[in-house]
Amino acid sequence: MKAAIFDLDGTLVDSAPDIALSMNRLLADHGAPPQAVSFVEGFIGEGARALVAKLFAALGVQTDDLDRDVATYIAYYRANPVAASKLYADAAPALQALHAAGIKLGVCTNKLQELAEIVLDHFGLLPLMSVVIGADTTPYTKPDPRPLLHAAQALGVEPHEVVYVGDTTIDRDCATAASIPYRIVNWGTGREVAVAAEARLSRFADLLPNPVAAD
């Protein structure tokens, strides 16, 4: 393995509380009641437009301008993207160790690139990333394999030389279509994704060439 590429929301960062807060502000604009973080979390992964459209549909919220509502949600989220978000597991020390070991690092997410970089910067991870691919970086979004392949190309590695780490069936299917090895994390929605045992990741340090045994 010469490189590791990560999904962001639900993989590196538990951003569901802040996403839910912004989504609930949008729901309030439509006179709809707020939803639990756990409910909103189930709609995260396909980008802002799918989040708003699918959550509205699930709740029976009517809209006469989805584009406007998506833009409003993004504005709410941009104003306060990391108030309650936290890093998952051992993300900070493990990614620093991977970087120090010469492993190239990147992010491929369906979050807008600007917002992804804001979140990564807040947690001190942005300087470790050689590439950040967001929903608007290329004309495509996951599970289309092209954003992930674009990230691998930007890192200067072949598909078989990189591992992709995610937490959804979208991430699994994207990596499979790109012929890139993948790992699905054991937290968040990752627990619900059907994968072989060897494709599971219980901590980021297990990506290291010689991982230290857990305490």
pLDDT at 58: 97
* Sequence-distant (≥ 6) Cβ neighbours of residue 36 within 8 angstroms: 20
Tokens for 103? Answer: 């492993």
Burial 58-97 (b: 16+ CB within 10 A, else e): eeebeeeeeeebbebbbebbeeebeeebebbbbbbebbbb
Does the active-site annotation cover 7? yes
pLDDT for position 214: 45
Output the pLDDT for position 188: 84
Q: Which candidate in 7, 18, 69, 167 is catalytic?
A: 7
Q: Which residue ranges of the chain lie beneath pLDDT 70? A: 211-215
Q: What is the value of pTM for the model shown?
A: 0.94
